[in-house]
A and B are shown apart, each in its own frame.
Chain A
Amino acid sequence: MEEGKNTQSRRKFFSNTIPLALGAITGIGLLSQSCNNDEEEGETVSVLSSDGQLVQVKKSAMTPTASPNVRQGIPGKSFVMVIDLAKCKNARKCVSKCQKMHGLSTEDEWMKVFLMQDSNDTAPYWFPKPCFHCNQPPCVKVCPVGATYKRTDGIVLVDNERCIGCKFCMTACPYSSRVFQWKEAELSEEMAERDYSPESSVPSKVGTVGKCDFCPDMARKGILPDCVSGCPNGVIYFGDKNEDIVTNGNESFRFSKLIHDRAGYHYMAELGTEPNVYYLPPVNRIFDYEDGFENLSEDQIKFFKSSTVKKH
């Protein structure tokens, strides 16, 4: 080699340290990711809530303004829904009221009603299905931008202003709960001019994902969601698990007692998503499942009567 030992060792030094330094800088920069995103944890404040209860709320959940923190959730609550399959007659009022409330077209359904038949010998039954607001939501795991998130009150919401429309959550949800806005929705003028909030999910935005949201904006005022109050047979019960009370607008029950007495269960519990919607089995039904056909079109009735209805 022509170069002297000095230049060679200098070269070696540079070729070793500069990349190391660059790597260190990158590493430190990326390491900041591992730091917690919220400030001092664990500090709570005593707050008098709107219904006169003294609640311990985390300081990080408090916002100085009057607008609610839509990412944290209503403090102290844990919303749960119980659907009584023994009373469902496919009246589809839950479907239409939800559509009306959120400005959906008649074809987009956030609450769906299926005709289920667990096996060829068993009796079919009508199965209303909202979003289950799972405690281990597969949709929240896969969202690349955190547009869908789980709150402390159990509700899973979609922030339509952050959603990039990749539809990964739609493939990840095993219960087909999510609906995509393929074209601009036709909203009434009043609805189109409202301020958007993930709690009301109105007005909808094209190119984003929507789903049942358990109506947290109404829950804040103590009003039941429209699907619950609109059901003519009182099929859907809604309430706060922490209070242990669920109601369908007319009757109230202790949630734990209702599930215990009527053998409430989760649909496809083995998927491990831990839903917050419980079903009461269709025992001692008050309607025949065929009574539910009166709200369907000819084609639909033909479809349901022909093949073995797909079941689980």
Chain B
Amino acid sequence: MNMRYRNFLLIIIIALFSNSALLAQSDKKKTTKIRVEYFNKNNTTEYLLLTLRIKEDRYIPFEDATVLIYSVGDTSNVLLDKVVSNYKGEAKFYISDDPLIFRDSTGQMTFEAEYVGDDQIKSDKESISIKKVNMEVSFFQKDTVKYIEVSVNEMAFDDQKSPLSDMEIKLSVKGTFSNLKFADEKTDENGKVIFEFPITMPGDTIGNLTIVSKIEDNDVYGNIESEGEINWGVIVPLAPEKHRGLGDTDAPLWMVYTLIILLSAVWFHYIYVIFLFFKIKMARKAI
């Protein structure tokens, strides 16, 4: 009995050690993490945003790494393209109407992003399945109240639209450096949702305001963003151009005139005195 337990223990210890030896081998390589996100902008531009990070004490952006993008089909994967990450560890792969991209019967596309790795860095793979969505932003006015309507439809393989309900829509106003969020609602069973237009927000010189509608981080549909522009914002006139002042290129007129008068008065007398020099010379006694 003891002998059997001791043998069993020995085998386990040996197995553990051999395992750790293997583990030690793979520990030498640096781990990487790849993240894939899908973006759809204005229903026309679709791309995958790949973020690569590599572990050096902690995860930092992985620059200059080549990622292979595959389209996952029923039977096999097709290599679509290679992208290289920038200094932030980000790379974009634009999805076009490439016939190589496999779409199944429901119109869903599946992509796989792989970082190959080498003898010092581990490889990593990540896949994403996406269905295309069409999001429209439109504006209408009812009884002097202004509204925004957002309608979300799923685009099937044959361009058939089916409305998507219960989708969380976030509305924001577009700005130079960021967008200002002002509303957050879910779509109804028709895939539509209506918001009140933020009429107090300033637009440009003719009141143009761009409304950005977003669906963020949806499991099936990814990140969808759409824009619409209308001149319902508050008109902000161009600042009147200042012409003459202490802080401008041209001086206030009273300053210019004062200076001209003072300088002319003094220099006029100088010129007259120099003229007198000539007169003195002329008035010499005939020798």
Contacts and interface: CB of A to CB of B under 8 A. Distances in A.
A66 interface: no
A22 B268 contact: yes
Interface stretch (A113-121, A183-191, A239-247, A293-301): A239-247
A141 B247 contact: yes
Contacts of B175: 239-240, 243, 245, 247, 252
Interface residues of A, number: 50
Interface stretch (B74-82, B98-106, B122-130, B259-267): B259-267
Contacts of A247: 175, 177-178
Interface stretch (A50-58, A158-166, A197-205): A50-58
Contacts of B201: 244, 254
A207 interface: no
A55 B247 CA distance: 26
B186 interface: no
A140 B247 contact: yes
Contacts of B205: 54-56, 76
B107 to A, nearest CB: 30
Contacts of B259: 30
A133 to B, nearest CB: 12
Interface stretch (B87-95, B148-156, B233-241): B233-241
A54 B181 contact: no
A19 B268 contact: yes
A22 B275 CA distance: 12
Interface stretch (B113-121, B139-147, B162-170, B249-257): B249-257
B184 interface: no
B241 A58 contact: yes
B180 A245 contact: yes
Interface in A113-160: 136-137, 140-141, 146, 149-150, 152
Contacts of B246: 141
A111 to B, nearest CB: 18
Interface in A28-51: 30-31, 33-34, 36-37, 41, 44, 51
B179 interface: yes
Interface in A6-40: 15, 18-19, 22-23, 26-27, 30-31, 33-34, 36-37
B229 interface: yes
Of the listed residues B181, B210, B239, B246, the one surrounded by the most CB atoms of chain A closer than 10 A to its CB is B239
Contacts of B210: 51-53
Instruction: Please name the 8 residue pairs, one residue from A and one from B, whose CB atoms are nearest each other, closest first.
Output: A247-B178, A245-B175, A140-B247, A30-B260, A252-B178, A34-B256, A141-B246, A23-B268
Interface of B: 172-181, 201-202, 204-206, 208, 210, 229, 236, 238-239, 241, 243, 246-247, 249-251, 253, 256-257, 259-260, 263-264, 267-268, 271-272, 275
